[in-house]
Amino acid sequence: MPDINDMPGDQQQPRMVKIALVQDQNHGDSEANRSAISRQIEAAAEADCMLVLLQELHNGPYFCQRETMAEFDRAEPIPGPSTQWLARLAGTHRMVIVGSLFERRAAGLYHNTAVVLDADGRLAGCYRKMHIPDDPGYYEKYYFTPGDLGFSPIDTAIGRLGVLVCWDQWFPEAARLMALAGAELLLYPTAIGWDPADSPQEQARQREAWMTIQRGHAIANGLPLLACNRVGFEADASAPGGGSQFWGSSFVCGPQGELLARAPEDAPALLIAEIDLNHGEQVRRAWPFLRDRRIDAYGDLNRRFRDCA
């Protein structure tokens, strides 16, 4: 296959965007977490970044390891205190910030919600997590109502952002629908880790599967992708000795799945990279997956499962 960058025809001018991912551990309480995040955002601004992506539920611990009614006290309205805080940072530093909050929509109605603050401090939009897991250590169905805003990109000063959240990253349909709606970039705030009891081999398989499927979304849709994960061990108070070791490894890849930057698995990091939002145009010309989709033959995708009978 010829080098996409050497193909004849008019080449679009690069549209370079410098971005940062804040991979961090839980610092013990909301105030400490916000302070750490603010410092990292300031560092990203000093590096001339135009967009910052934060990890899933960054204001506190990953509380979904257990089902406890008191954890609902962590939820807040949107707009609310955290969006006001992020808006000030976005407006001050003239950058787009993508955060992840526990939303209290109404009494008894809560969501896992990503928020996008534009470079002028305006709340540009929200995305409510659509796919909600219910697995050991990830009891999210107890806390979160599935999203009802659909797969709609959010327009910002740097472009159209296809924001999804954690468990969404395993579903190609979510990434595809964002791409079909005109997203120029896929972003995943994430909280995913190992059971420390798993063997090193199993841990490696899980992390590589996580990276591989997301790089596949980038390739299948001709879009760059950012995934920002938590890091560090967080104990499960309901199971002495139990908990989750979040594996970090936040990364940025281009529209051919090429790794542009990757954070360590065991330490906080401010991961900075440059991406060309126009490169996907050349990739899609060479690999026209959207052109060759057989939309007339995909009706069974609306079924839960196709039984043999």
Cα–Cα distance measured from residue 24 to residue 211, given in angstroms and rounded to the nearest whole number: 18
Residue 42 tokens, joined: 């300031």
Q: How many CA atoms lie within 13 A of 266 on its CB side?
A: 0
Which active-site residues does the annotation give?
Answer: 56, 129, 166
Query: Tokens 């955290």 sit at which residue?
Result: 82
Q: For residue 261, give the H/E element and its range.
A: strand 259-262
Beta pairing, strands 16-23 & 269-276: antiparallel
Q: For residue 44, give the H/E element and its range.
A: helix 30-46
My answer on whether omega of the bond before 79 falls inside 30° of 0, hence cis, is yes
CA 45 to chain centre: 20
